[in-house]
Amino acid sequence: MNKRLSMNITPVKILIVDNDKNLCYLIEECLHDEFPNNVNTKILSEVREAIDYINNNDIDVIITDINFPHFSGKDIIKEIQKKYGEVNGVIITWELSDEITQYAFDSGLCCLKKPLDYDELIYLITPFIDNVIGQSC
């Protein structure tokens, strides 16, 4: 894995939402290893928390599961679309069905099946991060 050089830029704000906190911490570590000083991450484990966070904070990129107890990751994505008009990020899921793949594509997101290949996650998330960094320069 090649580490990206840290530049003097505003860090990209990444929201990670999954009810598996250990997975979230691994994703966070992977992002901080790959993009040192260029990302700020926030980890949440519930859809309601994520929606409240989105309504009260700015985010640039989302990494979210789609399947949660009582709610759907789609609710998070709809909230981001309502606030920003578009969504940048990756859906992560154990059940990568045609319906989820199509939903991700229609929403402008990538999807990745669990268990995660962290190199693949970096490959998928990098264009979103580069796009935000490019806009802030």
Each residue's pLDDT tens digit, 43-102:
999 999 999 999 999 999 999 999 998 899 999 999 999 999 999 999 999 998 999 999
What are residue 63's phi and psi, to 5 degrees? -125, 115
So what's the pLDDT on residue 61? 97
- Name the helix (H) or strand (E) containing 120: helix 118-136
Distance CA 18, CA 98 (A): 21
At residue 44's C-alpha, the angle toward residues 98 and 97, to 5°, is: 5
What are residue 73's phi and psi, to 5 degrees? -60, -20
CB atoms within 10 A of CB 14: 26
Domains present along the chain, CATH in parentheses: 12-132 (3.40.50.2300)
The larger pLDDT score, comparing residue 136 to residue 53, is at 53
Would you state the torsion angle of the CA atoms of residues 71, 81, 35, 42, taken in this order, to the nearest 10 degrees? -40
So what's the pLDDT on residue 1? 42
What is the per-residue DSSP string for 47-81? HHHHHHHHHHS--SEEEEESB-SSSBHHHHHHHHH
Distance CA 119, CA 117 (A): 6
pTM for the model stands at 0.91
Over residues 11-23, the mean pLDDT reads: 97
Over residues 125-135, the mean pLDDT reads: 90
Q: Which amino acid is at 29?
A: E
In percent, the amount of the chain with pLDDT more than 70 equals 93
